[in-house]
Every structure is written in structure tokens, then in C-alpha cells.
Amino acid sequence: EAQVTQNPRYLITVTGKKLTVTCSQNMNHEYMSWYRQDPGLGLRQIYYSMNVEVTDKGDVPEGYKVSRKEKRNFPLILESPSPNQTSLYFCASSPTGRNGSPLHFGNGTRLTVT
């Protein structure tokens, strides 16, 4: 089954404790992206990757890191999480990331930082 898989689905952590949210897609998509979704603010892009070893900042990259060492995986790293990073996170992928290429979303990761 073609899908984008995120793990974990739920995560509660404390301020400053490094964490990684994994994302994997099995569709051989070139483009992958991370979004966060907050009430009243909608979906905001954190980072995106057009292909292996190519990553770029989105609208809200502060406090996050990503890597794209292989095509299928695009982990999101929070080196020192803070309470304002409490949010619902979505990973997404698309064949090319160019105009006209719709995104396929993972099931989301709900992160709480205390």
C-alpha cells in the first residue's frame, strides 16, 4: 500500500530533551515536507526537500532540523524542544514537488512539550 508513515503518533516530552520524529514513504517520491498545524494558524511548512541531500527552509524552520540522506526517509529533529513546539506535525510527500504535484500526507504526530 502506497503510504507515508510517521512515528510516533503521540509523543510527550520535556523541555530540552532531543527528539526525532521519523517519516518514511514507499512511493519513490522526490519531494518531502514537514508541516505543523496549530489552531487558528493552519498548516505551516517547516522544511522541505526536493531530493536526496537537498533541503530548504519553509515558513517556520526555527528550532527544527531535517536530513534527507536517502529518498524514502525525512526525519524531523528537535534538538532542544520548547513548549511552543507543542503541535500536530504532518509529513508529506509528492512525486516532484513542482507545480501540479499533490501532496500525500502521513497520519500525523501529536507532540506535547512540557
Partner 1 sequence: QKEVEQNSGPLSVPEGAIASLNCTYSDRGSQSFFWYRQYSGKSPELIMFIYSNGDKEDGRFTAQLNKASQYVSLLIRDSQPSDSATYLCAVFNNAGNMLTFGGGTRLMVKP
Q: Where along the sequence are the contacts to partner 1 (CB under 8 A)?
A: 33, 35, 40-45, 48, 50, 56, 58-59, 90, 97-100, 102-108
Count Cβ atoms within 10 A of the Cβ of residue 86 and give its class: 0-12 exposed, 13-18 middle, 19 or more buried.
middle
Q: Considering the complex, state which of residue 40 and residue 69 has its C-beta at the smaller distance from partner 1.
A: 40
Q: Considering the complex, state which of residue 17 and residue 98 has its C-beta at the smaller distance from partner 1.
A: 98
- CB of 41 vs partner 1, minimal distance in Å: 7
- Please state, as a whole number, how many other Cβ atoms lie within 10 Å of the Cβ of residue 106: 23
Q: Considering the complex, state which of residue 18 and residue 98 has its C-beta at the smaller distance from partner 1.
A: 98
Helix (H, G, I), strand (E, B) or coil at 71: coil
Rounded Cα–Cα distance for residues 89 and 22 (Å) = 11
